Amino acid sequence: MKNQSKFSKMIAIDGVVILAAFVLMVIFFSLKADSFLIPDSIRYYINEAVPIFIIIVGLTFVIIAGGIDLSIGAVLGLSAGTSLTVSMWGWPFWMAVIVGVLTGLAFGLLNAVFTTIFKINDFIVTLGTLNIAAGALTVLTDQIQLTGTKDTSFKRISGMNFLGLTSSIWIALIIVVVFELVLLKSPFGRRIFATGIGQVPALISGINTQRSKFGAYLISGGLAGLGGVLLASHLNSVQSGLAGGYELTAIAGAVLGGVSLAGGRGSVWRAIVGALFLTTLNQGLLLMGVDPLIFQIVTGLCILVGVVIDRAVYKFALTFSTQTRESNSQFLRGKRFSL
């Protein structure tokens, strides 16, 4: 009983399980897949995944606040489009950045308004804005061929190298750290959690839940915009459908990292680990020469197993740290996971 609870406390530490799984996978691939540990390839795929890491930060805010944002992928693509467009018009790179981020913020605002003010279901709203953003990009690429800007400083936004890492990786790192702080250490972050745990009790304890949610969606949109800028600067070209489906990877990663779709549970770095898990899995399978057709199946199974383990651990840890008997099992049975 005693050491059991020690063990439970140990594995109950946020994200320890997924982290362990991640490490195991890395070991596995470095043995099985040749050239898995080559710095180049690592740097490459991390660099490719940066947009996902960035949107997953904003997504984490939204999910913890009890919402969901399906639009981030499409918004990221559109912002990439807008920023590259203005850069091709010859605007300075910082203007391009601003335009890209503003594009994201605009859609964040759209989501925020429809979900918090018109009170439409988050899933539906963001599904709608997903279509709108994706469509807007199609229209844009229909007008202009976004085949690259002459402005080298725009390319340098993501391309510069510090200590062997590209600037986009550094930016991602900074964003992760900053927003993790905001989420865990700022009043705003705390209110986000409260909102996600329960709109009504949060409201009654004096929290402006609508404002928290609003903020979460703005952050999500803005970060999607920034991610778009980085992607555009990295690819130096944008086409319709770019970054479509990123949102699903991000959501899967977040949940895998233990961010609860019911809201009120999770943290940025856990979500990042989840995303890292998925991207690394993808990379490893690629390097093992596995047919990508199998990826989806493997990924799907990994997600399922991961979530099951995470929940099992959560339950386990829960039942040990308790006083009253019924509440937990009651609670767990009561919890609903629909969006």
Q: Is 4 or 161 the residue whose CB approaches another protein more closely? A: 4
Of 141, 314, 102, residue with least CA distance to 242: 141
Q: Is 98 or 295 the residue whose CB approaches another protein more closely? A: 295
Spatial distance between the Cα atoms of 223 and 69, rounded to a whole number of angstroms: 12
Q: Is 78 or 99 the residue whose CB approaches another protein more closely? A: 78
Of 68, 70, 71, 63, residue with least CA distance to 192: 63
Q: Which residues contact 270 (CB under 8 A, 6 or more apart)?
A: 14, 15, 18, 257, 258, 259
Q: Taking the complex as a whole, how short is the minimal distance between the CB of residue 83 and another protein, in angstroms?
A: 15
Q: Is 22 or 29 the residue whose CB approaches another protein more closely? A: 29
Q: Taking the complex as a whole, how short is the minimal distance between the CB of residue 231 and another protein, in angstroms?
A: 9
Q: What is residue 161's three-state secondary structure?
A: strand
Q: Is 98 or 179 the residue whose CB approaches another protein more closely? A: 179
Q: Where does residue 88 fall: left (phi above 0), alpha (psi -120 to 50 degrees), or beta otherwise? A: alpha
136: number of Cβ within 10 Å: 20
Q: Is 98 or 326 the residue whose CB approaches another protein more closely? A: 326
Of 196, 212, 193, 36, residue with least CA distance to 112: 212
36: number of Cβ within 10 Å: 19
Q: Taking the complex as a whole, how short is the minimal distance between the CB of residue 102 and another protein, in angstroms?
A: 19
Q: Taking the complex as a whole, how short is the minimal distance between the CB of residue 299 and another protein, in angstroms?
A: 6
Q: What are the tokens at 146? A: 């976004």
Q: Taking the complex as a whole, how short is the minimal distance between the CB of residue 135 and another protein, in angstroms?
A: 3
Q: Taking the complex as a whole, how short is the minimal distance between the CB of residue 151 and another protein, in angstroms?
A: 13
Spatial distance between the Cα atoms of 317 and 313, rounded to a whole number of angstroms: 6
